[in-house]
Every structure is written in structure tokens, then in C-alpha cells.
Copies of this chain bind each other. A is one copy, B any other.
Amino acid sequence: MADVSSVRVLAIASHVTSGYVGNTMATFCLQTLGCEVSAIHTVNYSNHVAYRRFKGRKSTSEEVAELYAGLKETGLANFEVMLSGYCPSASVVEEVGKIARDVKLRANTRPGSFFWALDPVMGDNGRLYVPEETVPIYKGLIRDADLILPNQFEAELLSEVKIHDLTSISEAITKLHQEYNVPHVIITSVRLSSDGSTATSSQDSAQPVATLSVVGSTATTDFKPRLFQITVPAFPIMFSGTGDMFAALVVARLRQTVDQAGVLDQAQWRSPDEVAASDLPLARATEKALASMNAVLENTAAHYAAVAASLESDPLMALPEDSPEEAIATNNMQRHLRLTHAAEVRVVQNTEALRNPPHPEDFRAHSL
């Protein structure tokens, strides 16, 4: 069986001491699948920012560059896969691009021997959470990437197509393929109504949406999209790090499915034009990644529900209604912190689901 054991992956993203986002999430998921992960951290924070409190520091582009230079001098920069995520500054984004181009240059003796999965982390739900000047720099980098995994908002930023239904998703992906020459695209988590239109604005994210759609494509040789869609249950919980988990699982599974399909030696792991969208290695990889994720998130949601229930019945968390404002604020903050902690994705407790995606048949891709 094709596997990903010992595949050398360079992971560049954030690090948190407690919890699972960025490299802290991606490294463990990739290692659990057997990959040799080299992690360069773009920030070192105590915890992720959704707690609303955190401490720590951002890495400078010089620090990122120095770690990579150390790997090169030691003969350890022979990576087969690179996965890049959150960068705290425009200069770090630029440095990540330089590193990717350098690894690619060193690997260019053989087609398919290096693959860069770029998660262009810029924002979500209509809100940018990186400096504005980062956006044009990402646009410049994507030409060198092999796979990008924007969310709906990031896909809109990069394609300049407003996404509101499957037709506009198709337009956006087509534009990403053609303008940036990027062969593999996955738009993660699009909220589509049953009539195929998206939730109209970020305000709607508070509304319960029963499912999320993931739409991906591997371009043909003439850069036409081959679109597939997978629908997954949506959980009414604010998880963090799920994008990082998805990217890590997809890239590892893609390495595996591309190997199984015999196209590992094709430039950019492209599939022959006759392969249908729903038969693409990228579609197979996405199915496996989503099946693993769904099982891990189900387990996390059950844990979250138990913690939420225990908070409800905790006499220490009960406040009389006429409590002073400050006491209420403190109480709300405590509740928020404990619930945010309860929503930390339970990856270490669910390694079996990472290794053997349960019920993959529930996550079949269909061609659009």
C-alpha cells in the first residue's frame, strides 16, 4: 500500500504552547500519519487568539530565514512537501515564498519531487486578520504553489469573484487556476443554502447551518477546472485549528492518493485530463481528510457538550441577576475561557481516526 511514512515535510506556521492550531495541530496530524515533519514557527504564543487573551511573540522574517539556512547547511532541506500557514507579517509571507522557491529549485531534478501546499491565511467571514499589505504578497506567491486551500473569504480576496452560489464558486476556482497557474484548489467550508446559494454575510454565521460544503478542483492541462463537492455536517461550535488540520490531512492524503494513482512523478502531481473530477486523487484525499476530521470533531463536540453542561450546573459559575457589572464580566470571561478550552480539537485522543478515516463512504465527492 502506498503510504506517507517518512515523507519529509517542512511545516511553517504558528506555534501555541497549549492547544492545537497552526503547526501545533499540523505537526501532530502529519506525524501520526508517519511523516517526518520539520516545523518552523512563525509565532510562539501561549494559546490561540480565540481565547481573547494570549501572550508570546511573533517570529521575525530573519528568524524564519535563519532556521531554514541552518537546515540547508546541515543538508536537511531536502523536503518533498511543504505546508505553509499563518504568517504574522508581510515580510514573513515573503520569506516563506523565498523558502518554497529555494526548496523547489533544489528538488527540480525530477518532476513531482517537491509539492507546496499553501494555506493563504488572511481572514474569515469578511474580516481580514493579517496586515492589508499581505494580500498582494500572497497573490504573488500563489503562482509558485501547487495547492492552495483558501476559505470562502480568502478565495474571494484572491479571485476577486464574490461567492454566493455554486456558479460563482466555479468562476472563482476557474480564475484561481487560470490567473495564478495553480493546479490544485480547495475552497474550505462554504456555507450553501439548500437552494445552492451561500449565507449572505458574516452575520449569518451565527445562524445554524446544518452542513458545510468543500469544493475542490484539479485543473486540466489547459487550466479548465474539474470541480468536485463534498458536503459535511457543520457543528454549532467555534473550533480553532480545523483549517490547519484539514490542510495537513489533505496534503498527506494527497501524497498517498497521487502515489496510488501513479502520478507522483508528474509535475505538480497533475492527473491526466481524462480523469473525472470525482475520481481525482485530490477528491480522494479530501474525502479521507474530511472523514477523519468529522470523527475527531464529533468526539470534541461531545466533550464540549459535557463541559458546557457542567458549567451550567456549577454553583461557582452561577451569579445572582443583580450582580455588579464587573462580576458579570469576570464570570462571562471565565465561562468563555473554559468553553474555548473545551472546544480544543481532541487530536491526541483520536489518533486512530486520523490514521484510519471512519466511514469514508459518507464523504464521497461528486462532480459538479
Contact partner of A76 (CB less than 8 A), chosen from B39, B46, B66, B349, is: B46
On chain A, which size bracket covers the interface?
35 or more
Residues of B within 8 A of A67 (CB): 17, 44-46, 55-56
Residues of B within 8 A of A28 (CB): 28, 31
**Smallest CB–CB gap between A339 and chain B, Å?**
11
Chain B, residue nearest A45 (CB) = B70
**Smallest CB–CB gap between A56 and chain B, Å?**
6
Chain B, residue nearest A303 (CB) = B6
Considering the complex, which residues of chain A in the window 62-76 have a beta carbon less than 8 Å from any beta carbon of chain B?
Answer: 63, 66-71, 73-76
Contact partner of A70 (CB less than 8 A), chosen from B6, B36, B47, B337, is: B47
Please tell me if A110 contacts chain B, counting CB pairs below 8 Å.
no
Q: A17-B38, A40-B17 are in contact. Are A66 and B73 (CB under 8 A)?
A: no
Please tell me if A202 contacts chain B, counting CB pairs below 8 Å.
no
Chain B, residue nearest A37 (CB) = B348
Contact partner of A18 (CB less than 8 A), chosen from B38, B46, B63, B66, is: B38
Contact present for B54 and A70 (CB under 8 Å): yes
Contact present for B74 and A66 (CB under 8 Å): no
Which of A18, A55, A63, A334: most chain B CB closer than 10 A?
A18
The complex places the Cα of A39 from the Cα of B17 at a distance, in Å, of 5
Contact present for B46 and A55 (CB under 8 Å): no
Q: How many copies does the complex hold?
A: 2
Contact present for B76 and A18 (CB under 8 Å): yes
Please tell me if A35 contacts chain B, counting CB pairs below 8 Å.
yes
Please tell me if A226 contacts chain B, counting CB pairs below 8 Å.
no
Please tell me if A213 contacts chain B, counting CB pairs below 8 Å.
no
Please tell me if A127 contacts chain B, counting CB pairs below 8 Å.
no
The complex places the Cα of A17 from the Cα of B70 at a distance, in Å, of 9
Contact present for B74 and A5 (CB under 8 Å): no
The complex places the Cα of A337 from the Cα of B66 at a distance, in Å, of 19
Contact present for A57 and B46 (CB under 8 Å): no
The complex places the Cα of A54 from the Cα of B66 at a distance, in Å, of 10
Please tell me if A41 contacts chain B, counting CB pairs below 8 Å.
yes
Contact present for B34 and A349 (CB under 8 Å): yes
Residues of B within 8 A of A139 (CB): none
The complex places the Cα of A67 from the Cα of B351 at a distance, in Å, of 27
Chain B, residue nearest A76 (CB) = B18
Contact present for A74 and B53 (CB under 8 Å): yes
Please tell me if A338 contacts chain B, counting CB pairs below 8 Å.
yes
Please tell me if A341 contacts chain B, counting CB pairs below 8 Å.
yes
Residues of B within 8 A of A31 (CB): 28, 348
Contact present for B55 and A66 (CB under 8 Å): yes
Contact present for A47 and B18 (CB under 8 Å): no
The complex places the Cα of A56 from the Cα of B47 at a distance, in Å, of 22
Please tell me if A193 contacts chain B, counting CB pairs below 8 Å.
no
Contact present for B41 and A70 (CB under 8 Å): no
Residues of B within 8 A of A75 (CB): 334, 337-338, 341
Contact present for A70 and B44 (CB under 8 Å): no
Residues of A within 8 A of B (CB): 5-6, 15, 17-19, 28, 31-32, 34-41, 44-47, 51, 53-57, 63, 66-71, 73-76, 334, 337-338, 341, 348-349, 351
Closest 9 CB pairs of A and B: A46-B70, A55-B70, A18-B38, A18-B76, A75-B337, A17-B38, A31-B348, A46-B67, A55-B66
